Structure 1
């Protein structure tokens, strides 16, 4: 079943109610072969009772990240093509796979029809993951259906099957352990009630008891695996801070300046080798600063000091965090501070869309008093959405979503009764109640879908794989 939004078809990450029907994506069998372990090799998928390969057209680290997560193999290290691990045999099942990198399984990605390709086996795609799979502790862990790998529904791997965690007694101490195990930043939220969508398959854990000091969730006490009194409406989630903080310094405002990233508790710069507008766009999006209008190098905003953390950054421009872009290993550069990269973003007025398929769709959030908050859907219409799309450089609005269609946000709710004419350049120019004054709850969070989604680097056509 396809979920129709004007001009698009969207794949659905996990079961969700659509027009009265509960849609459950079908898990796909995936394996890596010819590698040094179960966590590296040529990717093969199982369909119609036959294993087949994946073409490397458009294959990148975001696609590999999903495979590594699905196999419980940590994070993606590389996504080689050109049959790096040898040529497979017929059939070639998938071509032009398009994942965001946060999906829980490759079936949740943008996929062409099975067997529809123009490839040969010398184009077989491969994956190298960071971890070696093992039956020993710590239990494999992942966060799915969130805006990045550090936020989403908690899932654990047991008996080679992913399942969820019940939210009974779930809290910030548990979230600390999850964020630590995933090498994300500190937690900011530990929601229950399936905040990132209902899971499927087993519910593995209930009444988990963590002190917050454990290095892995498996070190916490729990009643017997698989024994519970819960349903998937009680699935636990976690929101961690991004492991790679970004700031712009020495510019006229926080949305323009020299790019600095935080690594090993120390701020350092980014080399301008191959630095371009796509890289700059990712920085602007991560900071909630609209779109990039310049990507100067050669220490345009002054030379930094300390380490140069990143070099040869290669973003597609659609990532929501610089940490998700390809780059040389951290700290490995041949640069000096006269080559420090910079960014100038379009608008310091803070607006972003989250939980959508790209930065051009999702729940509307605005930054006020250095805190992100949501917008109530009272009076929310296409004129208001049009202003958001224009401010983000995302083209024309095609949908003004209401009723938390892109998930419920977190406190605060900053704006209510927004009333734009549709011609304003920024949401801050529209009439609205005073900041923070509302009679809403997060079930009324407003969302937006912009036509800008149609012009991203990869095709947006998506199908529910049922």
Structure 2
């Protein structure tokens, strides 16, 4: 009986420790990216500083590891004036350099040693984090780079920790307004399965200014990326050329209606790429709007067996002379989709047989 009680007590203690650890967070603030800046620590709903007593290069290593920022850059640590409005939450920290988090180093406890020195640490780690979207500038799956955007390093996981708050922060950082939708199955992300996936958790963290500060670790089982459609993402189409949907008058959807785009504030190449039409060949503006022709020639076809049909058959997309069938199931292909095809081909209304 005593053994069972001891086992239950131990399990309770371990659960409390695990829960307490999950409420601690370390971030770097006011740097050029979230892996550079002065150190702030979050503990039980409060933000504060980390004292410098016993600070060594091993402490730098743990800080960079705890913030998922790689290794400390040599001779990059500096002392800056501390902010008087925040207290010292952790001090007298002694690290071996192998700890996963700063609070796992030897220390007397949170809020035990709070003596101020008037300065605090600023550190630079080897990772240079940039966030972008796989898809479009203001819509797509959230991906990250650890080398300043030269190469993609992985994606954020959308199964846990991804919500309206996180999506709004991402849209704001990309100058794309706010989050309009956070669906994660509206596109196929070809690179996602083979890439690293990072989990995030921004709950209770009010001072974060970059999603990387919410990263909690890597996921080995994540199946869906975090994705977003920001309010700054324009839904576009080219109208007026049935023989090539990549040429015509540029229109933008606004409040459920399609309106002509009369002034282009963006490189026309970007519009063509967004509509999967290649790059710009020509464009002109007049009182009626913007005429745009892209490099790809794309046509919707109906095929009856191996023969092209006018208003009946399987839906195919012909792009630059090569034709492919459109994949559709009872769940993904709807009557609304069929109506679009019939309307585009001037074939009247839909009739299912």
TM-score bracket relative to the smaller structure: 0.3 to 0.5
Larger Rg: 1 or 2? 2
Considering fraction of residues, name the structure with more strand: 2
TM-score by length of 1: 0.31
TM-score by length of 2: 0.38
